[in-house]
Chain A
Amino acid sequence: MTQRRHLLQAASALGASALLPGFAHAQSGAKKFQGVTLNVSTFSAAYPKLLQQYLPEFEALTGAKVNYDAPSFPVYNQRADLELSTKGSAYDVVNVTFIYSSRWINSGWLTPLDDFIKNPNLTPADWDVNDFLPGARAPETGRDGKLYGIPWTAEALLSASSRFDLVQQAGLAYPDTTDDLVKVLRAVNKKERVAGFVSDSHYGWTFVPYLHAFGGDVFRKAPDDLYPTLDTPEAIAAAEYYASLLREFGPDGAITYTPDQVTQALKLGRVNFTDAGQLHLAQLGDAATSKTLKTLKFGQVPKGPAGRFPGTAVHGLGIPVGSKNKEAAWAFIQWALSKQTTRKAVLAGYGSPARRSDIDSQEFRAKQVINGNDLAQLALDSIEQASRTGHMKYRTVSVYPQVDQQLNKAIALIASGQASARQALQQAQAQSITELKRAGQNL
């Protein structure tokens, strides 16, 4: 049994060496990191799970031993935030979480990767950092212009209808604008006991595209001017609009829905429309568990009076500044996000790669077409648009978690009838200002 495992490891290492000639050359054919133990931590998600399966390949190739830890998203973030703040050496590779990226990068808790990338002894030229989407690299870049994380996912917030057949029966098209969405929801809400709309109760993520669409914003001009702008007429109109979607067209208890609940409700056809992350929406295409596969339709988040502003999220792998094995850590990141590894993941069904070459590949595009909808193209368009307009900059500033909380509460207050949109957003604005001043912002 052990012999067989060694044989498999050796075979996969041989394969990887052949596939990664630059990397193997950098190791001079030897196991350069023999005896090194790397502590890698990220949150549990599709790509990290695949990496965990592929680990024996890296260990056989480099001789390094990898302790791999992938707890749930909130647990990971809390642990990593605490550990990085101490500049300790507990982790060698971490996930650079989107909403914490500015805090972690600009506090000096991560190592710039530019020198590793430029060094031909450490990184082969064909590894090609420019193959990663510019929109995905931007949030991993510090104010100093240096790159601190290599993205493994670039995800977009999209719109979906699980029972588009009901919309068609009503003689309507897929809603392209916020007005269209209301018109469609009025026509299909509660038809065949299917509620009209629900979204993840993390409104600091799901509501913001609507805030932008109505001409509002979270801050005056992130990241340079972080004065909150939550009580503008545009923001109030957007909040009233969004809360009314939940109040009028949501299932009972809509404001308590988690992302998994939303996915499940759409899979079972209990709710028709949502706005959700692409990775969650891709699960609706699972023929084994989705009852609505044949009636699915995807689209971009709706356009409002000010335009269309899809949400995007990027996560990457980075090296803590306190790591004592930086070169081996870079070898891990380089391997984990090499063209060969990411392509292997795509072939295994991975749904949101950040490499352009993967996104453009036939294999990926074929898998991303669900019931005739090209999910990959929708996501790509969203990411490119976010890159052009820069409207996602609000999300990576270090104080966003404070404002995020206020938005969650404001929408819940309005949707549950505890406050009007004006009252809730004025309260959110006042509390955000207090919190930001407390965080040391000069407003």
Chain B
Amino acid sequence: MSTTLILHPGTGWEAARRRAFLWGLLPSLAVLLAITLVPAAALLVASFTPLSLTDAAGTFRFDDPLVNYRHLLEDERFLRSIATQLKLSVSSVALQLAVGLALALLLNGRSRLLAATRTAFLVPMVLPPIVVALIWKILYTPDVSPVHRALEAVGLPVRSLIANPDTALWAISLADTWQWFPFTMLMVLAALQMVPDEPLEAASLDGANRWQLFRYIVFPHIRPVLVVCGLFRLIDSFKAFPLIYVLTDGGPGSVTEVTNYYGFIQAFNFSYWGYASAIAMVILAGVFALSWLVGRLGWNDHDKR
């Protein structure tokens, strides 16, 4: 056997090992394929049909495969939902990164108090999204909200933020930030542990102030982590649902109707599964495009620091 291995590298020990690994991996790959690619392919196929549940047999047809995509270009409500989505995503992700980074810098230390505070700040992230939405529903309902009552007591009454078309989207962005800033905080804290002490000490001896230490040594170290956090949160922000469902139902009017929520309405209220699938495919393409764009910008490239 060993002679064969030496004489025929293609069928040798290395190749046999690769094949063994491949066979070992195959079950996992098959499962992965079944649970990710197959549903995605089904979504793509459905998006090429005018599939409607009210006439499922009659509408699962491919005579005009681009009908949904053409319709999307003329659908003002869909186009508005993209603008709403971008506003929500950009504002909430930017806030999450800013708050997460700031708190990570503040809480980066070894005392017990800091450890306990770090743990407390993680709570919003581990709560079920629907619970988070209910907490904010209470906070945003003037009748029962302790925040509204406190503000009224000090002579600064604030009208309902979720019933006001000028503030409803930002109210959702704030609630989303509250839930997800701990993710950035956690990741940045981990990255801060990896910042070497030597350059910080050397720069301090050279007279660098705290801002300069952060700007020229700490930030370049944690920048790739921030980019990853931003990308993860950006992708996740496209799936915004529970907060909108519970707090505003897409309103008032349609000022908080993001693309994902519009797709949900098309599928579950109107039964247009083909059209909703096309919306989902557009979201998927948008997420891929954004990820590619972030990669191209090179913010996460260590070598270009």
Contacts and interface: CB of A to CB of B under 8 A. Distances in A.
Instruction: Give the most central of B52, B53, B248: most A CB within 10 Å.
Output: B53
Contacts of B56: 85-86
B142 interface: yes
Contact of B54 (A85, A254, A255, A419): A85
Interface stretch (A46-54, A226-234, A409-417): A409-417
A416 B265 contact: no
A107 B54 contact: yes
Contacts of B265: 405
A265 B162 CA distance: 18
Instruction: Give the most central of B252, B254, B270: most A CB within 10 Å.
Output: B252
Contacts of B270: 401-402, 405, 435, 439
A119 interface: no
A440 B50 CA distance: 11
Contacts of A270: 143
B141 A256 contact: yes
Q: Is the interface of A mostly helix, strand, loop or mixed?
A: helix
A196 interface: no
Contacts of A362: none
Given A256-B247, A439-B54, A85 B271 contact: yes
Contacts of A82: 53
Given A253-B140, A256-B141, A270-B143, A416 B252 contact: yes
Contacts of A417: 165
**Chain A interface residue number, banded:** 35 or more
Interface string A110-152: 0000000000000000000000000000000000000000000
B291 interface: no
A398 B55 CA distance: 11
A180 interface: no
B142 A418 contact: no
Given A81-B271, A416-B164, A416-B253, A252 B54 contact: no
Contacts of B272: 438
B94 interface: no
Interface string B192-205: 00000000000000
Given A265-B143, A412-B252, A416-B253, A85 B164 contact: no
B36 interface: no
Contacts of B148: 252
Interface string A249-279: 0011111100001000100001000000000
Nearest to B159: A252
A261 B253 contact: no
A368 interface: no
Given A86-B56, A252-B163, A398-B54, A409 B142 contact: no
Contacts of B252: 255, 412-413, 415-416, 418
Contacts of B141: 253, 256, 261
Interface residues of B, number: 31
Interface in B31-50: none
Contact of B53 (A85, A201, A252, A415): A85
A262 to B, nearest CB: 11
Contact of A256 (B163, B253, B269): B163
A251 B270 CA distance: 31
Nearest to B140: A253
B54 A409 contact: no
Contact of B163 (A253, A405, A419, A440): A253
A103 B54 contact: yes
Contacts of B268: 74, 78, 81
Contacts of B162: 253, 256
A425 to B, nearest CB: 13
Nearest to B272: A438
Contacts of A401: 269-270
B136 to A, nearest CB: 12
A294 to B, nearest CB: 22
Contact of B142 (A74, A107, A253): A253
Given A253-B141, A413-B252, A413-B253, A81 B53 contact: yes
Interface string B52-89: 11111000000000000000000001000000000000
Contacts of A74: 268
A270 B145 CA distance: 14
Contacts of B143: 251-253, 265, 270
B253 A201 contact: no
Interface in B112-152: 140-143, 148
A401 B165 CA distance: 24
13 contacts: A74-B268, A82-B53, A85-B53, A254-B163, A256-B248, A401-B269, A402-B270, A409-B253, A413-B252, A415-B252, A416-B165, A418-B252, A439-B54
Interface of A: 74, 78, 81-82, 85-86, 103, 107, 201, 251-256, 261, 265, 270, 398, 401-402, 405, 408-409, 412-413, 415-419, 431, 435, 438-440
Given A82-B53, A254-B163, 9 more contacts: A85-B271, A201-B249, A252-B148, A253-B160, A413-B252, A416-B165, A418-B255, A419-B253, A439-B270
